[in-house]
Amino acid sequence: MPLVTDSLFADQSPITPSSTAQGCLSKMAAALPANPDEAVIYHLRAGEQRILLNERIGDRFSLAWSGAIACTHCGRATKKSFAQGYCYPCFKRLAQCDTCIMKPETCHYHLGTCREPEWGEKHCFQPHIVYLANSSGLKVGITRKKQMPTRWLDQGAIQALPILEVDTRQQSGLVEMLFKERVADRTNWRTMLKGEVELLDLAAERDRLFTELADGLAQLREAHGADAIRTLHDQPFYFNYPVETFPSKVVSHNFDKNPQVEGVLQGVKGQYLMFDTGVINLRKFTGYEVLVS
């Protein structure tokens, strides 16, 4: 079974010349358009093949799961996917599957217990961004600096604003924990998919939170160094998505319950395909081998 790769941009692999493809799913490639008024450009990735989804909006579209699943890291066959695409041995062994990835404030590298110290040094000890975003309302989040704007597109954010830059992933988690006292850190995916989210003044929200959390930020700077947590003065980003019709009621497709997902493709937002028959989160099914037509 083919190894599932995780390239981030649509131009890193060839686009399949036909309207069909077969292979193991990885998360959709999302890229910003040349014209900011146009929609985010999405490619569905099945193995090494690509299908441009923007031009398929309004057409019938089908995904059929073969029943096979490949680990996104080692490529071996697995009966069940763990943590969105890993076999159980990789899930238990890899640092990228450790709980500190979801809760970076619990980083234990300094204790000498990191599963893969070299991986941790490469991915966690680099600049991270704390941001505000609007995908289903105001939220705070963190991402590696080089993951902008991919992180926001994966969440279906219509707005995003970087507010702080820090030196390590653990520091970003500590800052996020502080901001979670005042603002949510999760996206309501059903609200996000209905397309009823109103625009926010993210700059005003940033300034409000800086004022309300000034003491907490000062304590973090005292503990980690003033230069380790840097204030940013960026302008908000705005994103449009290729959606023809938003669902009034969100119904989910699930390959584990029904291996055939089909209908008229009405839009793409975040990592969701939106059909007239329901929606499916493709990232959830990373590594599933499908026939796309």
Asked if residue 217 belongs to a domain, the reply is yes
pLDDT tens column, 131-160: 999 999 999 999 999 999 999 999 999 999
d(CA 266, CA 277): 10
Q: How many residues are given for the chain? A: 293
d(CA 260, CA 33): 31
Same domain, 149 and 232: yes
What residues form DSSP beta bridges with 278?
275
The last residue of a domain, from among 199, 223, 238:
238
Predicted confidence band of residue 18 (pLDDT cuts 50, 70, 90):
low
Q: What is the mean pLDDT of residues 25-37?
A: 94
Q: What is the CA radius of gyration of the chain?
A: 20
Asked if residue 104 belongs to a domain, the reply is no
Q: Cβ(232)–Cβ(165) under 8 Å?
A: yes
Same domain, 38 and 141: no
List Cβ neighbours of 203 (8 Å cut-off, separation of 6 or more): 161, 235, 236
Residue by residue, DSSP assigns 77-142 as B-SS-BTTTB-HHHHHH-GGGSHHHHSGGG--GGGT--S-HHHHHHHTSS-EEEEEEESSSEEEEE
Same domain, 232 and 274: no
pLDDT tens column, 70-123: 999 999 999 999 999 999 999 999 999 999 999 999 999 999 999 999 999 999
Instruction: Quote the domain boundaries for residue 288.
Output: 10-85+242-292
Asked if residue 4 belongs to a domain, the reply is no
Asked if residue 221 belongs to a domain, the reply is yes
The last residue of a domain, from among 200, 222, 238:
238
Same domain, 169 and 218: yes
d(CA 44, CA 28): 5
Asked if residue 93 belongs to a domain, the reply is no
Asked if residue 209 belongs to a domain, the reply is yes
Q: Taking each helix axis from N to C terminus, what angle separates 169-179 and 214-224, rounded to the nearest 10 degrees? A: 160
Burial of 28: CB neighbours in 10 Å, binned 0-12, 13-18, 19+: buried
pTM > 0.85: yes or no: yes
Helix (H) or strand (E) holding 237: strand 237-238
Number of domains forming the structure of the chain: 2
